[in-house]
Chains A and B, each alone.
Chain A
Amino acid sequence: MNSIKYYLYYFESKFIGYPFVIRVTLFLIVILVLIYLGSMVRILFIAKKRNQFENRKKQIKEEYETKLNQVLFSEKNLSSQEIEKQLNINSDPIKEWGKSYISKLILSLINQDMKLNVRNYKQTLKVFELHAYWEDQLRNKNVKDEGTALRILDDMSEDASSNAISNKTGSQNDNLRKHAKSIFMKFDSNDAFKFLEDDFDKDFNSLDEVRIHDALKDKSKSRTLPPLIRWVNTAKNEFFKSFLIQEIGYFKQIDCAEKLIEIFKEPLSNNLVKSQIAKTLGVMDYKAAIPHLIEGYESNTQEVQESVIHAMGSLRGQDALAFLEKIYHETHNKETLIKVLQNIYLVDESKIVFNKLKSTSTTDFEKSIFDYIDQGFSVR
């Protein structure tokens, strides 16, 4: 100990004796050496963890894959005791770390193109106590583990406790919080849509749209969704409002159409919202919207106008065709011109108007549009 102290004092006195530049250089060299050694150690650590992961994965797969296939895709409904016996759980209980690997193995197996026995699948999850394990991981206070737990619970899709998930809906971590909210929507049977109040989240973005859309699709399989117009009315975030309107169209909530028309006609409505309303009314094939869409066309922005044109192509009818023909002659924007003609072609079943316009086209550009559409190369 004394000799270590001696050398430390020696190096310290040597160090203090050097010029400032040399001291700074030596300090930086020490930092770099530490970083270099730290990186080496990190690489070795990552390699070790990965090897351990692969070995454990292989071990679990070898032990359980065949047995799980037999259980999950069995035509016969098995009881939990039968599954335990078949998987040999009582005599060789699985370790805690194994539950993570088993979960991923089961999820990979159920994605195969074979008929899953859902009852056996649910029983298998119970037998391994996987829901309890992952709900426990949610209380881990480690963002990485919590994120993994949410994803696994989402993929498992069965009987996840919305209570366990709702604890994460107030997380400080944006990604975790929003992910938890979308999964809560999927699993909660009491108040699943509560997060659609207050614009879903202060950090709402397009990735949340994907997650909410997935949750709504899942929810709609068991029961009809409530009218989403309710949350359109209360939404303050225009992007969220526009997204909900898009979902109204996707789920064909025709009852919301009149309210959407009201919003469309409001002078202070946001252009993004109006544009989406036009598209949604077209998707829902709500023909009563045609006069309202035509009425405000001139005073709207190009974005809204193009959505109206697109909607006409879906709504069809003589009024839509007449309107499209009229704006064909008034449009100067080349891209809009292409869209108008694409929709005329869709609406004009007899192709009389289309061919009439084609015969009177004067520029090479216009002729190319007609040929492009007529020969079937155009996709709206």
Chain B
Amino acid sequence: MEGVALVYQYLIFFYSFLMTVIYISLAILGYINIVRNKRKYTEKEEEDLKMLPEIAPGISVVAPAFNEEVIIIENVRSLLNLDYPNFEVVIVNDGSKDKTLELLIEEFELIEIPFPYIQKVICQPVKKIFRSTNEKFKRLTIVDKENGGTKADAMNAGINVAKYDYFINTDVDCLLARDTLTKCILPVLDSKRRVIAVGATMRMVNNCEVKDGVITRVRPPKAFIPTFQETEYLRSYLLAKMGWSMFNLIPNVSGGFGLFYKPVTIDAGGYDPLSHAEDMDMTLRMVANMRDNKQKYRIVQIPDTCCWTEGPPNIKVLQRQRSRWGRGLLQIFVVHRKLLFNRKYGRMGFWVMPYALVFEFMAPIIEFFGLLFMIFLLFTNQVNFNTFWLMLFFVYLLGVTISLVAISFDILTKKHYNSYREYIRLVIFSSLEAVIYHPLIVIFSLNGYIQFLTRKDFSWGAMTRQGFKQSESETEILTATVNKK
């Protein structure tokens, strides 16, 4: 028993050591990538592209909507105001039971059109397609379909209707920066290899000032949960993914925002409606498709914040979100197990998938059993408290340091908040994350794994919409509780 305990402790230490080395390496690589990105792509490149519509590639912005009457108009207006010469906006009304469709029809002067619909990827039947009679809204297409139960199904309908070779996958509750499309397409153009996906940084829209669908003032969230999540996102995008991107090792382009190359998405079969992590599932299938067809590819991450999304305002909503992510992650390893340690799938199979298995999927399990083991050692008086406090400090310092590095990368990329005091808020919260937020993430992730294994009937859960906080001249704040199925 003593031997087992010793081996277990050494394994945990080795695990933490590896994690530290990996994160420090990612931080260094991420920094180099951010600096390189800033030097290559400036406002001049964006302006030059916008001035040459005859050569700028077309992009379709596809956003599914289910019961989004609270925010749909503002969001669509925001999307139509993107600053790019060749784009269209495709909103997929996924069988909404509220007034989402009616509001769209009225606001944007839509009529039903005869559309030769081709089902390139499978989805629930499309009922109607609408376009506007007003020239101002000529870029807008609305797809009305039967509810498919998941965002993936709705995205597939959007892909079937999208006319351009590149499409943005985003959510209707997300606000995109006006220069999003130029920022995302530049690395696609600046590559000899086919870029099949581009990811960007997402952050929380909670507590930001929004006027007519445009963010006029960026602030860190007020509530606890979204504030923690803001730093968590910065770590994920600016540190981890920017680092992975240096070696074309990005495991996942977020479902909240990403640019994708449509022909490869279609060849890979589109989004899987049965997946709980349709974003990672899609990314892996696209990679597998390219590898199976022996085609070179790249997946790129840009450091710019292009998308603001509403963060979970309370623990209940956070639980739903993280349980779903947990189910999705476990499902990924079940469905895509052929990629694991498979040299045929190159770096994705041999490095990224094993990394995700050990350091992302296993992490909550290891932490949970580590805690149980710790309690056992306490009860059997086997704890060397000097070592215990040293190790605890080491692990705590790792989290806090990585968070601070991510925040510094965010400031390096662009100063989003007006005041540096607002960044101090993120720094303070990152020092409390290990005690308040992280345990919740571990519990909810494990809950997700258990749910998947016990195969309960799942629903996406309710997302409490706060609406966007208006700028000071407009004081109305809308609140609605919407059930997503």
From known contacts A28-B20, A32-B398, infer whether A147 and B39 are also in contact, taking CB-CB under 8 Å.
yes
| Cα–Cα, bound, A372→B387 (Å) | 74
The reply on B236 being an interface residue by CB < 8 A is no
| Whole-angstrom CA separation of A35 from B408 in the bound complex | 11
B247 is an interface residue with CB less than 8 A from chain A: no
Main secondary structure of the interface of B (DSSP, over half): helix
Of the listed stretches B102-110, B111-119, B432-440, chain A binds: B111-119
Chain A neighbourhood of B400, CB < 8 A: 36
Q: Roughly how many angstroms separate A250 CA and B55 CA in the complex, as a whole number?
A: 10
A residues less than 8 Å from B314 (CB atoms): none
Given pairs A36-B404, A206-B189, 11 additional interface contacts (CB within 8 A): A24-B17, A32-B398, A32-B401, A39-B407, A43-B408, A43-B420, A206-B191, A210-B52, A334-B116, A367-B114, A368-B116
CA gap between A160 and B412 in the complex, in Å:
32
Q: Which residue of A lies closest to B188 (CB)?
A: A206
* Contact between chains at B192 and A377 (CB < 8 Å): no
The count of A-to-B residue pairs whose CB atoms sit within 8 angstroms is 118
Whether B115 and A368, one on each chain, are in contact in the complex, defined by CB atoms closer than 8 angstroms, is yes
CB B396 to nearest CB in A, in angstroms, measures: 10
A209 to B45, CA, bound (A): 12
Are the CB atoms of B189 and A207 closer together than 8 Å? yes
Q: Is A29 an interface residue (CB 8 A)?
A: yes
Q: B189 near A375 (CB under 8 angstroms)?
A: no
Residue B315, interface by CB 8 Å: no
**Chain B proximity mask over A19-32: 1 for CB below 8 Å, otherwise 0:** 00110111011011
Query: B40: which of A29, A175, A203, A250 is its contact (CB, 8 Å)?
Result: A175
Cα(A21)–Cα(B14), bound, Å: 9
- Considering only CB atoms, which chain B residue lies closest to A335 in the complex? B118
28 intermolecular pairs with C-beta atoms under 8 Å apart: A25-B390, A28-B20, A29-B390, A32-B20, A36-B401, A42-B408, A43-B407, A43-B411, A43-B423, A46-B412, A47-B411, A47-B420, A143-B39, A147-B39, A204-B192, A205-B189, A205-B191, A206-B189, A207-B45, A207-B189, A209-B189, A210-B48, A211-B48, A213-B55, A214-B51, A338-B116, A368-B117, A372-B113
A206 to B166, CA, bound (A): 15
Q: B114 to chain A: which residues have CB within 8 Å?
A: 367-368, 371-372, 375, 377
Cα-based distance from A39 to B27 in the complex (angstroms): 11
- Write the nearest CB–CB distance from A339 to chain B, whole angstroms: 11
> Nearest residue in A to B56 (C-beta to C-beta)?
A210
List A contacts of B7 (CB < 8 A). none
Confirm or deny: B317 has a beta carbon within 8 angstroms of a beta carbon on chain A.
no
Q: Are B42 and A29 in contact (CB under 8 A)?
A: no
Q: B8 CB to closest chain A CB, in angstroms?
A: 13
Is B61 in the interface zone, CB < 8 Å from A? no
A337 to chain B, nearest CB (A): 8
> Is A33 at the interface (CB under 8 A from chain B)?
yes
Contact for A31 among B24, B188, B190, CB less than 8 A: B24
The residue on A at minimum CB distance from B49 is A210
CB distance from B446 to the nearest CB of A (A): 27
Query: Are B191 and A39 in contact (CB-based, < 8 A)?
Result: no
User: From B398, which residue of chain A is reached at the shortest CB distance?
Assistant: A32
If over half of A's interface residues share one DSSP class (helix, strand or loop), that class is named, otherwise mixed; here it is helix
Q: Is the CB of A50 within 8 A of B415?
A: yes
Instruction: Produce 1/0 per residue, B410-439, CB < 8 A to A.
Output: 011001000010010000000000000000
A205-B192 in contact (CB<8A): yes
Residues of A within 8 A of B397 (CB): 29, 32-33, 36
Cβ of A40: which chain B residues have Cβ within 8 Å of it? 404
Ranked nearest first, the 6 interchain pairs of A and B with the lowest CB-CB distance are A371-B114, A206-B189, A207-B190, A207-B189, A369-B116, A39-B408
Partner of A151, one of B24, B42, B118, B390: B42
* A338 to B114 alpha-carbon distance, docked (Å): 13
**A-contacting residues of B (Cβ < 8 Å)?**
10, 13, 17, 20, 24, 27, 39-40, 42, 44-45, 48-49, 51-52, 54-57, 113-118, 131, 186, 188-192, 387, 390-391, 393-394, 397-398, 400-401, 404-405, 407-408, 411-412, 415, 420, 423
A175 engages B24 (CB within 8 Å): no
Query: Chain B residue with minimal CB distance to A211?
Result: B48
Per-residue contact bits, chain A 343-380, to B (CB 8 Å; 1 contact, 0 not)? 00000000000000000000001011101100101000
**Residues of B with C-beta under 8 A to A250:** 54
B423 near A25: Cβ-Cβ < 8 Å: no
Closest residue to A378 on the B side, CB-wise?
Answer: B116
Q: In the complex, how many angstroms separate the beta carbon of B265 from the nearest chain A beta carbon?
A: 16
From 1 to 40 in chain A, residues with beta carbon under 8 angstroms from any chain B beta carbon are: 21-22, 24-26, 28-29, 31-33, 35-36, 39-40
CB distance from B18 to the nearest CB of A (A): 11
- Contact: A35 with B390, CB < 8 Å? no
Q: Which of B188, B390, B404 contacts A22 (CB 8 A)?
A: B390
A208 to chain B, nearest CB (A): 8
Closest to A150 in B: B44
Q: How far is the CA of A31 from the CA of B23 in the complex (A)?
A: 12
Q: Does A85 contact B (CB under 8 A)?
A: no
For residue A258, CB closer than 8 A to chain B, the reply is no
Max chain B Cβ within 10 angstroms of own Cβ: one of A25, A42, A204, A214: A25
Q: In the complex, A35 Cα to B27 Cα: how many Å? A: 10
Given the complex, which residues of B lie within 8 Å of A25, measured CB to CB? 13, 390-391, 394
Shortest beta-carbon distance from B46 to chain A in Å: 11
| Residues of B contacting A22 in the complex (Cβ-Cβ under 8 angstroms) | 387, 390
Q: Nearest Cβ distance between residue B44 and chain A, in whole angstroms?
A: 5
A50 vs B404: C-alpha distance when bound (angstroms): 19
Instruction: Check B116 against A28 for contact (C-beta < 8 Å).
Output: no
Q: Are B394 and A377 in contact (CB under 8 A)?
A: no
Which has the most chain A C-beta neighbours within 10 Å: B13, B116, B188, B415? B116
The closest CB in chain B to the CB of A155 belongs to B44
Identity of the chain B residue whose Cβ is nearest the Cβ of A31 in the assembled complex: B24
Residues of A within 8 A of B390 (CB): 22, 25-26, 29
Residues of B with C-beta under 8 A to A367: 114
Contact A46 to B411, CB < 8 A, known contacts A33-B397, A36-B400, A36-B401: yes
CA gap between A28 and B17 in the complex, in Å: 8
Asked if A154 is at the interface (CB within 8 A of a chain B CB), the reply is: yes
B187 to chain A, nearest CB (A): 9
Select which of A21, A205, A214 is within 8 A of B190 by beta carbon: A205
Q: With an 8 A cutoff between CB atoms, is A144 at the interface? A: yes
Binary per-residue interface labels of chain A (83-94) against chain B in the complex, 1 for a CB within 8 Å, 0 otherwise: 000000000000
- Quote the shortest CB–CB distance from B278 to chain A (angstroms): 25
Chain A, 115-146, CB within 8 A of any chain B CB? 143-144
What's the minimum C-beta distance from A229 to chain B, rounded to whole angstroms?
A: 20
Chain B proximity of A267: nearest CB distance (Å): 25
Tell me the nearest residue of chain A to B113, going by C-beta: A377
Cβ contact within 8 Å between A365 and B116: yes
Q: How far is the CA of A138 from the CA of B49 in the complex (A)?
A: 24
CB B336 to nearest CB in A, in angstroms, measures: 30
The answer to whether B131 and A377 touch across the interface, beta carbons within 8 angstroms, is yes
Q: Are A39 and B192 in contact (CB under 8 A)?
A: no
Contact indicator B189/A213 (Cβ below 8 Å): no
Query: Could you mark each residue 42-62 of chain A with 1 if its beta carbon is under 8 Å from any beta carbon of chain B, else 0?
Result: 110011001000000000000
